[in-house]
Amino acid sequence: MTRARRFLTSAFCPLPSAFEFCPLPSTLASRVVSTLVRIVGIDLGLRRIGLAVSDPSATLARPWKTIAAGATPDVSAVLVRAALDGYAAETGAAAAGEPAGLAAFGAVVVGWPERLGGGDTHLTAVVRTFVAALATETGLRVECQDERLSSHEAEVRLAERERDWRKRKAQLDAAAAAVILQDFLDARGARGDRGDHSGAASS
């Protein structure tokens, strides 16, 4: 599928390049599984958390929703866990025969903040704590994906479809999460890692 075709399908195309901080071990890609699972993308902020999900084949990312962030990274992890628990019922995936709760997901991808020239940002320590808390809270494998320019990319894509800046602002966090997730999925596909993501959590 071409990038243009993927954009028409998912409403978001990947950033020009992907940089992975936590690549999947090759052992996780060694087994082809019959049960497909979704992967979650997260754009963590101090006030809001953007959530995105992949299709069941973990090929295309799409925005899901934005939730309020917690007062601490640990509280934010609990709030994300609650959102994931309700995904199947909220979206109708359960009626379509998909697993309920956390069983619907094979992994989580969190945007990793870094300055354009390298080095930590004011959010790096917050995200690091959140990643560890989310792995413990959900038991899912948590991966990190470079999020530099993801918000800008999401804003550009939204501006092409929505002229009202208020509506764009409301959708931006989830859209940025979709860009982050699509980057991860594309890089994973290029490596041929289409295997099982279930198992012990790690970060």
What pLDDT score does 17 carry? 33
3-state secondary structure the chain: CCHHHHHHHHCCCCCCCCCECCCCCHHHHCCCCCCCCEEEEEEECCCEEEEEEECCCCCCEEEEEEEECCCCHHHHHHHHHHHHHCHHHHHCCCCCCCCCHHHHEEEEEEEECCCCCCCCCCCHHHHHHHHHHHHHHHCCEEEEEECCCHHHHHHHHHHHHCCCHHHHHHHHHHHHHHHHHHHHHHHHHHHCCCCCCCCCCCC
Name residues of the chain where pLDDT drops below 50: 1-34, 195-203
What pLDDT score does 96 carry? 83
Number of independent structural domains in the chain: 1
The reply to whether 77 falls in a domain is yes
What pLDDT score does 198 carry? 42
What pLDDT score does 120 carry? 80
Look up the CATH number of the domain holding residue 186: 3.30.420.140
The reply to whether 86 falls in a domain is yes
What pLDDT score does 173 carry? 87
The reply to whether 9 falls in a domain is no
pLDDT digits (tens, 9 = 90+) for 36-48: 789 999 999 999 9
What pLDDT score does 12 carry? 36
The reply to whether 156 falls in a domain is yes
- Structural domain boundaries enclosing 157: 33-191
The reply to whether 2 falls in a domain is no
The reply to whether 203 falls in a domain is no
On whether the pTM is more than 0.85, the answer is no
The reply to whether 59 falls in a domain is yes
The reply to whether 24 falls in a domain is no
